[in-house]
Amino acid sequence: MSDLLRLLKLFRPYWLWMAGSILLSLASVLANVGLMAVSGWFITAMALAGLAGVSMNYFTPAALIRAFAIVRTVGRYAERVISHEATFRLLAELRTWFYRRIEPLAPAGLAKAHSGDVHARIGADIDRLELVFLRVFAPVTVAALASLVVIAVLFAWHPLIAASQAVLLALAGIALPVLVARAGSAPSERLTHQGADMNTKLVDMLDGLGTLQAYGFDASHAARIDALTGDMIAEETRLSRLSGLSIAGVGLATNLALLAAIALAVPAVRSGALAPADLAMVALLAMASFEAIGPLPLAAQSLGGTLASARRIFALADGTPPVPVPASPAPLPRVAGDVPALSFRGVTFAYPGSPRPALSGIDLDLMPGTRTGILGASGSGKSSLVNLALRFWPPDAGSIFLCGTDVATLDPEDVRRKISAVSQHAHLFTASIAENLRVAAPDAALGKLEEACRIAQVHDFIAAQPDGYDTLVGANGLKLSGGEARRIAVARALLKEAPILLLDEPGEGLDRATETAMLDALFDATRERAVLYITHRPVALERMHALLLMERSRIVDRRAGHQMG
Ligand X SMILES: Nc1ncnc2c1ncn2[C@@H]1O[C@H](COP(=O)(O)OP(=O)(O)OP(=O)(O)O)[C@@H](O)[C@H]1O
The answer to whether 224 touches 193, Cβ cutoff 8 Å, is no
CA distance 440 to 436: 8
Helix (H, G, I), strand (E, B) or coil at 351: coil
Parallel, antiparallel or unpaired: strands 405-406 and 359-366: unpaired
Give me the long-range contacts of 105-110 (CB less than 8 A, separation at least 24). 105/316, 105/319, 105/321, 105/322, 106/392, 107/392, 108/322, 108/323, 108/352, 108/392, 108/393, 109/319, 109/320, 109/321, 109/322
Q: Which residues pair with 344 in a beta bridge?
A: 364, 400
**Rounded-to-integer distance, Cα 553 and Cα 565, Å:** 22
What's the closest the beta carbon of residue 212 comes to ligand X, in angstroms?
24
We find the least distance from the C-beta atom of residue 422 to ligand X, in angstroms, to be: 13
Nearest CB to ligand X, comparing residues 520 and 551: 551
Q: Which is nearer to ligand X, 339 or 549 (CB)?
A: 549
Torsions phi, psi of 5, nearest 5? Answer: -65, -40
Count other Cβ atoms within 10 Å, centred on residue 388: 23
- Cβ(349)–Cβ(358) under 8 Å? yes
CB of 486 to ligand X, least distance (A): 14
- Please say which residue, 2 or 354, places its beta carbon nearer to ligand X: 354
To the nearest whole angstrom, how small is the minimum distance from the Cβ of residue 497 to ligand X? 26
CB of 525 to ligand X, least distance (A): 25
CB of 236 to ligand X, least distance (A): 38
Between CA 2 and CA 6 the distance in angstroms is 6
Nearer to ligand X, 104 or 376 (CB): 376
Residue 371 vs 382, nearer CB to ligand X: 382
Q: By C-beta, is 97 or 351 nearer to ligand X? A: 351
Distance CA 8, CA 307 (A): 12
Give dist(CA 240, CA 242) in Å, integer. Answer: 5
Report the residue number, 184 or 381, with the smaller CB distance to ligand X. 381
Distance CA 534, CA 374 (A): 5
**Nearer to ligand X by C-beta: 188 or 360?**
360
- What gap in Å lies between CA 405 and CA 271, rounded to an integer? 93
Instruction: Give me the torsion for CA of 304, 307, 308, 313, rounded to 10°.
Output: 170
Between 71 and 534, CB nearer to ligand X? 534
Residue ranges that bind ligand X, judged by CB under 6 A = 111, 351, 354, 358, 376, 378-384, 424
Q: Nearest approach, Cβ of 13 to ligand X (angstroms)?
A: 37
Is the bond preceding 159 in cis, omega lying within 30 degrees of 0? no
Shortest reach from residue 379's CB to ligand X, in Å: 4
Q: Least distance from C-beta 350 to ligand X, angstroms?
A: 8
Q: Which is nearer to ligand X, 150 or 502 (CB)?
A: 502
Least separation in angstroms between residue 536's CB and ligand X is: 8
Burial 157-186 (b: 16+ CB within 10 A, else e): bbeebbebbbebbebbbbebbebbbebbbe
